[in-house]
Amino acid sequence: MALSIKPLHPLFAGEVEGLDLRKVEDPATLAALRSAMDQYAVLVFRDQPFTNEEQLAFAERFDGTLHAKTSVSVLSKNRFGNEALTDISNVGADGKVLPANDRLRMSILSNRLWHTDASFVDPAGRYSLLSARVIPPVRNDTEFADMRAAYDDLDDETKACIEGLNVHHSIAYSREVLGFEFNEGEREQLKGAIHPLVRTIPGSGRKSLYLASHASRIVDWPVPEGRMLLRDLTEHATQARYVYPHIWREGDLVIWDNRATMHRGRSYDDKTYRRELRRTTTLDLPQPA
Ligand code: OGA
Ligand code: MN
């Protein structure tokens, strides 16, 4: 099945036209979408009025098993009664915009650091599907950066230096960088995971830098030296030429490949404007046929 895709950036990201994903069930279209993900790494679909149940069902049809052990679930009970539907909003259990000093708000603020979803678990996150339900009248973009192009542009010396390195990822680390504090019990549940720094994505055969704000150290390296290298690589990989900024409209569904990209939310006045999105993230297990 041929998809209609409009490129959104010279390196990656495309807008798929003419599909209502709630109704997409046939294996040929799902396979074409996965193959488009291998090429574009970020796909945008406009006017997709998903309910929570429809979003969960589509994510499972698209890519199998969902990630349900999110960091937010350690801090508070999921508002929707399903930990696989991550609440990407500035709204509390009472439905009101979170006040400035709310602990959940401060944890969610770290989505504004460059990261990739669920790199702190094993298996890690593969695709994230983010559905825009309520969007403020001011800019509140999510930016995406292409980690394959960033890898390709490294010089040979750097490529040789980073080949075979492993990185520890921990969500406690990325929160603590911003000054957020976890108690012992929470930290125990957020021990993290180890993944290679350079990954080859099976569908495209392309190599990618697997970086994230969660990347806390390089295994077997002195911690400061490892963090310095991770910072240098992140600075390189998030230069403007690798970045697509997504300007949200209500009803958008954006799917990204966490193996091939990093992303970050941009700041907006979240104490004034309600912003509600819902995320489903799949795990990097063998793909459905
Ligand atoms: C996410 C995320 C950023 C944003 O949903 O995983 O990082 O702009 N979102 O809300
Ligand atoms: Mn994220």
Q: Quote the CA–CA distance of 287 and 167 in Å, as a whole number.
A: 24
pLDDT tens-digit series, residues 220-232: 999 999 999 999 9
pLDDT over 90 at 60, yes or no: yes
pLDDT tens-digit series, residues 103-149: 889 888 999 999 999 999 999 999 999 999 999 999 999 999 999 99
Atom 3, ligand 1: residue with shortest CA distance: 265
Note the pTM of the prediction, 2 decimals.
Answer: 0.96
Confidence band for 77, pLDDT divided at 50, 70 and 90: confident
Confidence band for 70, pLDDT divided at 50, 70 and 90: low
Calculate what percentage of the chain has a pLDDT beyond 90.
84
In this structure, the chain runs to a length of 289
Domain count, the chain: 1
Is 221 inside a domain boundary? yes
Which alpha helices (DSSP H) does 16-70 contain, by range? 27-40, 52-63
Question: Whole domain around residue 276: which residue ranges?
Answer: 4-283
Mean pLDDT, to the nearest integer, of 199-205?
96
The preferred substitution site among 71, 86, 88, 243 for testing ligand 1, maximizing ligand atoms within 8 Å of CB, is 88
DSSP state letter for 272 = T
Q: Which ligand is nearest to the CA of 86?
A: 1
Mean pLDDT, to the nearest integer, of 143-170?
98
Confidence band for 79, pLDDT divided at 50, 70 and 90: confident
Is 250 inside a domain boundary? yes
Q: Rounded mean pLDDT of the chain?
A: 94
Q: Which residues line ligand 1 (CB under 6 A)?
A: 88, 111, 117, 128, 130, 142, 263, 265, 277, 279
Q: Quote the CA–CA distance of 285 and 242 in Å, as a whole number.
A: 27
Q: Quote the CA–CA distance of 207 and 228 in Å, as a whole number.
A: 22
Closest ligand 1 atom, residue 117 Cα: 6
pLDDT over 60 at 72, yes or no: no
Question: Which stretch of 24-38, 62-76, 106-120, 206-220 has the lowest confidence by average pLDDT?
Answer: 62-76
Closest ligand 1 atom, residue 277 Cα: 10
pLDDT over 60 at 179, yes or no: yes
Closest ligand 1 atom, residue 266 Cα: 8
Ligand 2: centre distance to CA 245 (Å): 14
Ligand 1: centre distance to CA 265 (Å): 5
Q: Which ligand is nearest to the CA of 266?
A: 1
Ligand 2: centre distance to CA 53 (Å): 21
Question: Which stretch of 7-11, 64-68, 110-114, 194-198 has the lowest confidence by average pLDDT?
Answer: 64-68
What are the φ/ψ torsions at residue 192 (nearest 5 degrees)? 95, -175
Helices and strands, number each (H, E), in the chain = 9, 15
Mean pLDDT, to the nearest integer, of 249-274?
98
Is 288 inside a domain boundary? no
Is 249 inside a domain boundary? yes
pLDDT over 60 at 71, yes or no: no
Atom 9, ligand 1: residue with shortest CA distance: 265
Ligand 2: centre distance to CA 263 (Å): 6
Residue 20's CATH number: 3.60.130.10
Phi-psi region of 64 (alpha: psi -120 to 50; beta: other; left: phi over 0): left
Q: Which helix (H) or strand (E) holds 131?
A: strand 125-134
pLDDT over 80 at 24, yes or no: yes
Question: Which stretch of 67-76, 163-172, 228-237, 249-258 has the lowest confidence by average pLDDT?
Answer: 67-76
Is 9 inside a domain boundary? yes
Ligand 1: centre distance to CA 111 (Å): 6
265, 111 in Cβ contact below 8 A? yes
Is 222 inside a domain boundary? yes
pLDDT over 80 at 266, yes or no: yes
Mean pLDDT, to the nearest integer, of 100-104?
90
pLDDT for the residue 288: 66
Closest ligand 1 atom, residue 140 Cα: 8
66, 284 in Cβ contact below 8 A? no
Ligand 1: centre distance to CA 109 (Å): 10
Mean pLDDT, to the nearest integer, of 244-265?
98
The preferred substitution site among 71, 119, 252, 264 for testing ligand 1, maximizing ligand atoms within 8 Å of CB, is 264
pLDDT for the residue 180: 87
SS3 97: strand
Is 289 inside a domain boundary? no
pLDDT over 90 at 263, yes or no: yes
Atom 7, ligand 1: residue with shortest CA distance: 111
Atom 6, ligand 1: residue with shortest CA distance: 117
Alpha-carbon distance values, 233 to 193, 219, 253 (Å)? 20, 16, 29
pLDDT tens-digit series, residues 30-54: 999 999 999 999 999 999 999 999 9
